[in-house]
Structure 1
Amino acid sequence: MSNQYREANPVNNNGTINVWIHAHTHDDPGWLVTTDQYYVKQVRYILDTVIGALAVNPERKFTYVEQGFFQRWWKEQNDNMKALVHKLVENGQFEFNLGGWVMSDEATATYEDVINEMTLGAKFIYDEFGIRPTVGWSIDPFGHSKEIEALYADIGMDAFGINRVHYADKENRIKNQKLEFVWRGSNSQGEKSDMFIHMMDNHYCSPEECDFFSNSSGDCMYRKDDNSWFQDNADLPTFKVNAEEKAQKFVDMVKKRATYYDNGNNLLITWGCDFTFLSAPVSYDNMDKLIKYVNDNEDRFGVHVQYAVFSDYIKAVNKHKKQWDVYEGDFMPYASDPDAYWTGYYTSRGRTKGLNRRTMNELAVAELYLSLARVYHLPVNAEEVFEKVMKLRKAQGEFQHHDAITGTEKQAVANDYNVQMEDGSFFANEATSTILGAMLDVNLNHNITLKWAELSKRQRLGVILTNSNAQAIKNVVRVVVPVGALEVTDAAGKLLPFQINEIPDWSIERANGTHVVYVEVEVPALGFTTVYFRTQTSLATLPRGGVTRDDFIENEVYKLTFAENGLLQSVELKQEGRTVPFTDMLYQYTGRFNQGRSSGAYSFIPEKQTPDPVGSQAELTILKGDLVEEARVVYRSGYQQVLRLYRCEGIMKNVIEVVYDMGPTDDGREIVARFASEQLRNGRVLYTDANGLEDIRREYREDSVEPVSANYYPVTNRAFLQADASDLRLNLVVDRAHGVASVVDGVLEVMLKRRTRGDDWFGVDEPLTENDHYQQTLWLTLSSIQRSVEVHKRLDLHLNHAPVPYYFVGDKEPKMTSRSLLKKELPANVQLLNFQLNQLRDSDFLLRFHHLYTKGEATELAQEVTFDVNDYFADFQVTEMTEYGLSGMFPREQIQKERMQWEIDPKMKTSAATIKKSYAKDTIVNLTPMEFKTYRVRVN
């Protein structure tokens, strides 16, 4: 990204301009090479040379972000080096910025994953240095989310830096001196979620006027032109003195850029770039000379220069008393130029995005049982199971990086992320199996294939279904099995509602078995239940899904009717007494290739603005049973989907499940599903979630260059389309991040899978060649608006925190076959986000709650809720409970006292009562809509 500056604004800078030189390195934990390769070849030497350079001059300063890298380096250091770093941190020369395991993506990561990786990074900083980062910046993610900012506000940060904003928005802000403002991250939380924002006027790399090899990433410096050095020594006749020339160019740049901001004559200069400062002493030596020369001539130049960390700059700006604008929108999508909307990465590498969501759920279960191992003093090796869970914590944390979950890395790096997460999954599930097995006195394993191999004809396979939610889940569970004849019972031998369907030959699930068993179960809140599979010799009496000649599937809520071409044509809403014309079709865009910039991993650039149907007709097969009815739709090889309805009790009967079983797909095509109805026409207004939190209204953006790509938005968990005139709402819940749009009125478009033929010139330098065969699941509901609001977020938890199974073989009964760890369910609007063992060496736990609903939602659940935790936990009492910031490292009361205040329009202020509430009884939790509360607790 080149440093090109627009003309200076016509404003007067009265007085000296204070320039803050902010030295940093941006170290991606994987992108063009793997995390390990970056560390071994570059990062360890960056930290080595930077620490050495800071030690010899107390004026020098440096910022570091990525805790995943720093903690690797820390483990390699001796006591003397560690003592030196402690000294540098204490005197303000070395600052931890952000404090997370990585600099996370802001479009495709969920709030759960981001909170977990922030906590993982912050814990080390607190344990080792006794501090918390007070500022953060997110300088490379491709667009910025208001909800991510709100999370950092909840941690207690004073200010935040951002960079990648739509080019036209940034140009306008530069022209109007609006690059700094207060950002309100949550409409529900109001002023509590406010954060002061510094938006970079250009990019995060060094200006050429004062680069001094900080941008070199280790390039051989002797090859650089002589004028790259700051030369002020006249005793070197063959090396031209350039001090005045270099200083004047620097001052000219400073004076131009200072006009972009209205903050009391303060200018932040970011000095560094990707993997820079491999030779920190050389860079600092040249910058020392520039700073001295300019400051010695301060009266002439009108500029004063100093080294700074980000918090130094923020403190200076905070002293400038003005009323800052409050911004309540977000910065999605990001466009770097008119021809490059970075909206492809919302979908890129969908298989790995799905793996991330699966392991998020597995980690939640593992964290729960790791805590229970300590609470119940179970006979397990505490250090061993803790380390196994830590493997998944770290793998999950690393994958939230903005070149990992986004799918914008090289293929070899993507493969490495997959390996790390699968390894983490294996070890975390092994830990859960060990702990739960100790509780129940059975030998558990998460791998059903291994347990089937142990099964003899007379034995039964026990399936323990775990639920990490604080509310019971009544669900239909799917289990792939290698046999077509079995029965399913509870612990007492009573037959459960179940159905067996044969897996079609074209499905990826054929790799793991021949049939799917559907079982209707209720898994207790924060608990588990057990079902048993026993193989049978006869198929005659088993409940099976059979092929019919019908052209519809139905349950008590819906009837889906298919046309002669095999595609969906209408949905009858039985409980509302109306039929809605409704279609579901696959289309694909041809990605642009070799016509200027190609469509690539980052950007979605279609060759034409209208996609082509995958096919005008499809082969339709209808299967019906007592529990499940499904329509299998095959367009052609590689393009298959299943629509499924459940004939069950509970919330699942409201779901139209759509499973895409696709691959390999056509080269250079970007596949979308379009769900359409004339009754959903609303002027192309779409609603998407932000990181799984609040919903944002997305109005159609008129764009003459890229009208389709400009209107794609990220969805991590949910989206919806609604038409007030027809009182109809289409809800979407997803099992991984996607890009969505409404470019045609009445149509919800979901991008499913991408294969590009070219690279989009943003650094990866290879096409996105994802051609894996995998499944992805969408849940739809279609109903009146009120009915849709009631179920949307509950379905989100049902899909993304579905029961996780563990298996055992034999006739031995577990000590318990069904159990809830709660006396009663938590209120329906409360999510128990974490019950996490914070310290292995003692009984210190993190207890984190989240209010699931938004202020003003049309449901009684969108109300403030108060409860006493000791009214809910069944086997233990909370004896100590102190509220902390979101990362769980510093008390909330301390953070509120220390956090900077920024003056805003009084009309935008929130009453003090909303910001802080206290309760006499210290185990009482009060949650307002969208609020998080984090506690450090002790139990007995």
Structure 2
Amino acid sequence: MRALLLTLAALGLTCATQHHKHSDKHKSGFLQNDDKHHQHKDVKDNHLYIHLIAHSHDDVGWLKTVDGYFSGTKVDIQDANVEMTLDTTIAELLKDPRRRYTQVEMKFFSMWWKNQDEQMKAQVRALTQEGRLEFVNAGWSMHDEACTHYEDQINNMMLGHKFLLDEVGVTPRIGWHIDPFGHSNANARLFAEMGFDALVFARADFQDAEKRMNESSMEWLWRPSFQHVGKKGQLLAHLMVDNTYYPPKYFGFDDNGEGEGPFVNDSSLSTFNADWKSAWFINYVTELATHFRTNHLMIPMGGDFRFINAHLNFVSMDRMIDYINEHYPNVTLLYSTPGMYFDSLYAANISWPTKYDDLFPYADHPDDYWTGYFTSRPGAKWQVREGQAFLHASNWLYALKALDLGSTEQEIQEILAAKNAMLDSMGIYQHHDAVTGTAKQYVADDYTLRHVTAIRANIDQVGKMINRLSYRSTGLSAHYWSQCTVNNGTYLDCPIVNNVNKSFIVTVHNPSVQTQYYQRVKVPHTAYSAQAWSASANKFVDVNSTVVCHKNRFENGYSIQDCDMWVENKVDGKALSWLFIKYDAFAPVSAPGMNRFQYLTENAKGSLFSVSSPEDGSSHYVTFQIRYYQADEGGDNYPNTDNVPSGAYIFKPKKDMQFSLPYVNVTRTESFNSSFMQQTTLYYNDAETNRSARAIIRAFAKNPAVEFEVLLDPLPASGGGQEVTANFFAYDLDSNDTFYTDSNGLEMQERVLNYRPTWTLSTDEPISANYYPINSAIVVRDTKQNLSMVVTNDRSQGGSVLDNAHIEFMQNRRLFFDDSRGVGEPLSEDGRLGLGIQVQATYTLHFVNLTATYSKQRFQQLIIDDPLQYHFAFNYTLPESAEAVKAEYQVDILKDVVQQSASGQPAPVKFQLFPMERNVLLVRLENVGDLFDYPNGTHLANTTIYIDIPTLAKNLYYQANGKQAQLSGINIVESQMSGNQNLTNMEKNKFNWKGLDDNQVVEPTMPKDLPNYLVALPAQSIRHFYVEYVPLTQKKEEVM
């Protein structure tokens, strides 16, 4: 950790320091971050310590909405009232100093907190300082680990951790993911880099859990992404017994629970039960202790929405502790917290078994693989990904606003409120019953409403920033800037729907570091031409463009002509560009010229294409096909099954029809070719089965990948449950039963058919047992040819490679039976008309020969993760002359910021900005490169790029204020992953667990930062820095 005051010697600046009163309080806690580990004394050998963990698992939406769960309404659906849980629990803690409680979800806690007076807030802070109220995990929600993108995971935790630090003054150190349905390497690694010492969860494949119980390895040292981050990514994992976070039987004291009644220790009562309950409990924990490696056991005392009546729970726990401690001298029960428990394990000073792979997929029964939710509610999954892109793009603009000397305090507060509204919505959407698609339909509708409301709260603020930046850079201004927030819809979803046959301005914002060359503008017809703003010519100039139209069919069968205007125009990374789209009845037609792929024919494997590689000109044969699985409907009474159907959680093909079938055939094709792009459209239709679809295949002159835009019309209700996949088959590859999938968009994981790295898989579900969550890409590789096929996707989906070099992604599923995992509804999204929903998804495909070039997978990911943002103006004033203004604000933010790696291979870099207050930014720097994409034997040093943070900081300031603006100084402080701790202090306080294989593994050598504040970013690294500006220039007049 470095706290850097950059002075005149480094930046040509003078130095001064200014702070806001509130930020002083925040920074004090941030910088000190004292050691909060519990101290334990007088621990005896041959003595069993039972840590009772009082907790409530509070879903941020599932069977009820977020507000419904907090306020306790709709008791007929579920008796859950988080407000009463917190009210009564805090009251009970204040009554008795020995009681302890564990709180998790920050969204609910923040809702409760805003209603408390200062006296109550002070009491809560005191409880945390005494260690009696422990916050664990502390994300805004308990996010899912399969369907979430790593950026959303970080943002979710960052929001919760900031709230907790600002309001309560604590930093959580234990991960608590007891309900997500499988666990990823990326999430574990990020948690470790947030400062978490340990991670508790309750779900692992039943075969894995059984093996761990037999081998006393229910706790292990997890080392995810070891080749990239080494031991800094490690934490101790704890798997709860029997895949549950509930108490042992007979000890569910909550009246909202199992109805097992209180612990009665008064022997004069006829209901006295302390004797037999205690005897049962001692037998239980004594046997359980044989499966663990220390004399400490963690026993959860809670469950879903428990402790509504905390008095009932704590009284029975008091009596239980007192009675057992009095009658069983070799056992000690104690109120505990996860932090206390793991402090005890660390004090035991033993070495732990290690694990390097992830925990996907998850099965709780031989037939029941929870791989359906990887795809469930695909529209919501797309909405989440669009929201992430919008959040990051808008935050970049807000960061400039926070640095702008002309910003008023009201304007600063408005952008911070808009940012927080978006973070709140996105944090809720990461919940493990939200993005997963496993909530009730009306709850899913509520998630969507919250999301749309948050975006609307931001669009006005974003439009103001676009107008300001447009005027400063070009002299262009507009009355109002609108956005097309449904980027995969039709022109009817965009502002042009009310402005047909008009010329208009489009501001194109590229939030990615990657230069982009092609813009897509939705239009109703072909009568348009395009110009782009030229800074050197100080005017709009003609650029290549073309309009391609196709038939678009809606759920009700109604069809329209929908058109895409493609413009060839270079948009630099982290920059704006301006297009003038002219209504032109005589718009020229682009001459043909592109020939990157050829549509050849239809065969048994689908539509056959020849795809050429732009690097070496080699051609490869590929087929694309839409296929489907007939869903198991349960009740089939096959031997040795539980007769559970395919549902929102579980993917289960029909028992006697395990493999997929062609869904619908191509009935018509159209092709288009221009000088810079080509397109083939495949139309699918079957009137007998009422199935239809469309696939548009595109290629662009300067893009390495071929794009497949696949539109599935509503899945018909007739014919039973259907689970539909997009399939890509390479003829000239041998994948040898091995493929690779991303981990939440980070490191690629090796997958081998019907195999698990740390236990032996036995299954009669060969399809669903080999499905994995895909958030970015699947890769198949022929090691003999050193040839790979890379297919990326645009949202969370289930996917696999079940046959040689045959990649499949599940795009939509419609089911008519519930899979008995709690939601109580079948997954049948009926849409607005009751006919089902359309789902459009985009895939990109490219081949790479690593002996000749490098993979473009991660560069494609940069564009997918941070797509172009389009802002439309139909009432505008074209620029006249504003050369002086433009020159002052024409700043290349990336100039002299990135130094590429020693290997010479470009690195896929990401920057994200989060305005925290006036003149304070949180900067996220990333290198999403992966050793997977480098030649074997490559060291991290050869993947490392260096980021010049002072130069980046200055460039941002100059773009916000002009090149004449002056700074007194810049303070730069590095934080850990969630932004709530000074990195050095976090690393000092973090446990250094020992692994049984420490003498056998070689930790990678981590590249060091260079002088002059050049920050090292090897492959897969993510670093966060607080940047505080100290302006010298005073507030100036607005330029418009």
- 3-state secondary structure, aligned to 2:284: helix
Q: Does 1:601 align with 2:648?
A: yes
Q: How does 1:515-914 map to 2 (within 5 A)?
A: 515-538=563-586, 541-543=588-590, 555=594, 557-563=596-602, 567-573=606-612, 576=616, 578-595=618-635, 596-607=643-654, 608-636=657-685, 638-649=691-702, 652=703, 654-667=704-717, 668-701=721-754, 703-770=762-829, 771-786=836-851, 789-810=854-875, 812-813=877-878, 820-824=892-896, 826=898, 827=900, 828-829=906-907, 831-838=909-916, 840=917, 842-855=918-931, 857-858=933-934, 863-872=943-952, 873-876=954-957, 879-904=970-995, 905-907=997-999, 914=1006
Q: CA RMSD in A?
A: 2.6
Give me the whole-angstrom Cα distance separating, in 1, the residues matched to 2:798 and 2:287: 38
Aligned to 1:65: 104
Q: How many angstroms apart in 1 are the aligned matches of 2:119 and 2:892?
A: 50
Selected match of 1:261 from 279, 286, 292 = 292
Counterpart Cα distance in 2 of 1:734 and 1:786:
25
Tell me how far 1:567 sits from its aligned partner.
4.6
Deviations 1:827-860 (A, max 9, x none): 552533421112x3x4221111112112363268
Q: TM-score, normalised by structure 1?
A: 0.91
Of 150, 168, 173, 1:111 maps to 150
Partner of 1:191: 231
> Are positions 1:936 and 2:1010 aligned together?
no
Q: Distance in 2 between matches of 1:376 and 1:231?
A: 66
Aligned to 1:241: 272
Q: How many residues align?
A: 898
- Paired letter, 1:470: V
- Paired amino acid for 2:316: N
| Letter matched to residue 276 of structure 2 | E
Question: 1:7 corresponds to which residue?
Answer: none
Are the equivalent residues in 2 in contact too, given 1:499–1:626 (CA < 8 A)? no
Amino acid at match of 1:837: P
CA–CA distance in structure 1, aligned partners of residues 497 and 146 of structure 2: 42
Within the alignment, does 1:363 sit opposite 2:391 as a pair? yes
Question: Structure 2 length as normaliser, TM-score?
Answer: 0.82
The answer to whether the aligner puts 1:20 opposite 2:111 as a matched pair is no
Matched residue type, 1:834: Q
Range 64-73 or range 510-519, more displaced = 510-519
Q: Deviation per CA, 1:386-429, whole angstroms, max 9, x where unpaired? A: 21222111111111111111111111111111111122222223
Supply the AA of the counterpart residue of 1:196: L
Contact 1:527 / 1:818 at 8 angstroms: preserved in 2?
A: no
Structure 2 residue matching 1:202: 3-state secondary structure = helix
Q: Which amino acid aligns with 1:792?
A: Q
Matched letter for residue 949 of structure 2: V
Partner Cα separation in structure 2 for residue 919 and residue 593 of structure 1: 61
Per-residue CA deviations over 1:629-673 (Å, capped at 9, x if unaligned) read 222212216532323233433xx2x22111111121133100012
Structure 1 pair 162–352 and aligned structure 2 pair: CA distance change class (3 A) = same
Q: Taking every aligned residue pair, what percent have the same amino acid on both sides? A: 25
Q: Tell me the amino acid that sits aligned with residue 915 of structure 2.
A: L
The answer for the alignment partner of 1:229 in structure 2 is 262
In the alignment, the residues of structure 1 paired with residue 115 and residue 647 of structure 2 have an alpha-carbon distance, to the nearest angstrom, of: 38
Deviation at 1:727, TM superposition (A): 3.7
Report how far residue 786 of structure 1 moved. 4.8
Q: Which moved more, 1:419-428 or 1:186-195?
A: 419-428
Quote the offset at 1:617 in angstroms. 4.5
Q: Which runs of 5+ in 1 are unaligned?
A: 1-12, 546-553
**Structure-1 residue corresponding to 2:488:** none
Q: Distance in 2 between matches of 1:790 and 1:163?
A: 37
Residues 264-303 of structure 1 aligned to structure 2 (within 5 Å):
265-299=295-329, 302-303=330-331
- The residue aligned with 1:485 is 527
SS of structure 2 residue aligned to 1:641: strand
- How big is the shift at 1:686? 1.1
- In structure 2, relative to structure 1, the CA distance for the partners of 1:438 and 1:705 (3 Å cut) is same
Q: Helix, strand or coil for the counterpart of 2:311?
A: helix
Please give the alpha-carbon distance, in whole angstroms, between the structure 2 residues aligned to 1:376 and 1:385.
Answer: 12
Q: State the distance in 1 between where 2:605 and 2:1001 align.
A: 56
Partner of 1:463: 506
* Secondary structure of 1:777's aligned partner: strand
1:307 corresponds, among 335, 338, 342, to: 335
| CA–CA separation in structure 1 for the residues paired with 2:683 and 2:928 | 38
Q: Secondary structure at the match of 1:125?
A: helix
**Structure 1: distance between partners of 2:1000 and 2:56:** 36
Q: CA deviation at 1:379?
A: 4.2
Q: Is the 8 A contact 1:630 1:642 kept in 2?
A: no
Name the residue aligned to 2:1014: 924
For 2:127, the equivalent position in structure 1 comes to 88
Q: Give the aligned partner of residue 390 of structure 1.
A: 420
Q: How far apart, in 2, do the equivalents of 1:65 and 1:134 lie?
A: 12
Shift of 1:610: 1.2
CA separation in 2, counterparts of 1:908 and 1:932? 27
Q: Say which structure, 1 or 2, has more relative contact order (CA 8 Å, 6+ apart).
A: 2
Q: How far apart in 1 are the matches of 2:201 and 2:988?
A: 25
* Counterpart residue number, 1:4: none
Assess if the C-alpha contact under 8 Å between 2:735 and 2:781 holds in 1: yes
Question: Which residue type is aligned with residue 531 of structure 1?
Answer: L
**Aligned amino acid, residue 37 of structure 1:** G
User: How far does the alpha carbon of each residue in 1:590-612 deviate from its partner, in whole angstroms, 9 at most, with x for none?
Assistant: 10113210100111000021111
Question: For residue 446 of structure 1, what is the aligned residue in structure 2?
Answer: 482
Specify the code of the residue in structure 1 equivalent to 2:817.
G
Q: Is the 2:230–2:1004 contact (alpha carbons within 8 Å) kept by the matching residues of 1? A: no
CA offset digits 1:194-252 (Å, max 9, x no partner) = 111111122343334452433x4378xxxx56xx222222444xx33222111111111
Letter in 2 for 1:317: L
In 2, the alpha carbon distance for the partners of 1:875 and 1:40 equals 44
Distance 1:802 1:617, change over 3 A: closer
- 333-342 vs 431-440, which moves further: 431-440
After the TM superposition, which of the residue ranges 415-424 and 167-176 deviates more from structure 2?
415-424
| Secondary structure in structure 1 of the residue aligned to 2:802 | coil
Distance 2:646 2:464 in 1: 47
CA distance change for structure 1 residues 525 and 881 in 2, over 3 Å: closer, same or farther?
same
In the TM superposition, what is the alpha-carbon distance from 1:580 to its structure 2 partner?
3.1
Q: Deviations over 1:77-105 (max 9, x none)?
A: 11221111111111011111012111111
Q: Deviations over 1:29-88 (max 9, x none)?
A: 111111111111011111111111111111111111111111011001112211111111
- Which of 373, 395, 402 is the aligned partner of 1:345? 373
